[in-house]
Amino acid sequence: MTDDPLLRIDGLHVAFGERSRWHDAVRGVDLRIHRGEVVGLVGESGSGKSLTALAVMGLLPRGAKVSSGRVVFDGIDLTAPGKVERLRGARIGMIFQDPLSALNPAIPVGRQITDSLRTHQRLGAADARDRAEALFDLVGIARPRERLRAYAHELSGGMRQRVMTALAVANDPELLIADEPTTALDVTVQAQVMAMLDRVRRELGIAILFISHNLELVAEVCDRVSVMYAGRVVEEAAVETLFGRPRHPYTRQLLRCTPRLDGETGPMPTIPGLPPRLGAVPPGCPFAPRCDAAFDRCTAETPGIWREGPHMAVCWEALR
The residues pairing with 22 across neighbouring beta strands, listed in sequence order, are 17
Q: Does residue 20 bind other proteins (CB under 8 A)? A: no
Does 207 bind other proteins (CB under 8 A)? Our answer is no
* Residues in contact with other proteins, shown as a per-residue x/- string from 98 to 137 under the rule CB under 8 A: ----------------------------------------
Residue among 90, 102, 278, 293 that touches other proteins (CB under 8 A): 278
Q: Which helix (H) or strand (E) segment is 237 a member of?
A: strand 232-238
CA 222-228-229 angle, to 5 degrees, is 155
% helix / strand / coil in the chain, to the nearest 5? Answer: 35, 25, 40
Binding residue for other proteins, selected from 169, 196, 298, 318, defined by CB under 8 A: 196
Task: Residue count of the chain, please give it.
Answer: 320
Of residues 7 and 39, the one with the C-beta less far from other proteins: 39
Nearer to other proteins, 81 or 266 (CB): 266
Interface with other proteins, residue 257, by CB under 8 A: yes
1 binds other proteins (CB under 8 A): no
Residue (105 or 272) nearer to other proteins, CB: 272
DSSP state, 231?
A: T
Q: Does 217 bind other proteins (CB under 8 A)?
A: yes
H helices within the chain, ranges in order?
49-57, 83-87, 99-102, 109-121, 125-138, 144-147, 157-168, 187-204, 215-221, 239-244, 249-257, 296-300, 316-319
Q: Phi and psi (nearest 5°) for 72?
A: -115, 120
Query: Helix, strand or coil for residue 28?
Result: strand
Q: Three-class SS string for 61-80?
A: CCCEEEEEEEEEECCEECCC
Asked if 220 interacts with other proteins (CB under 8 A), we say yes
62-91 binders of other proteins (CB under 8 A): 63-64
Give the number of residues in contact with other proteins, rule: CB under 8 A.
56
Q: Does 269 bind other proteins (CB under 8 A)?
A: yes
Which spans of this chain sit near other proteins (rule: CB under 8 A)?
Answer: 16-18, 25, 44-45, 61, 63-64, 140, 156, 158-159, 186-192, 194-196, 198-199, 213-221, 239-240, 243, 253-254, 257-261, 263-272, 274, 278
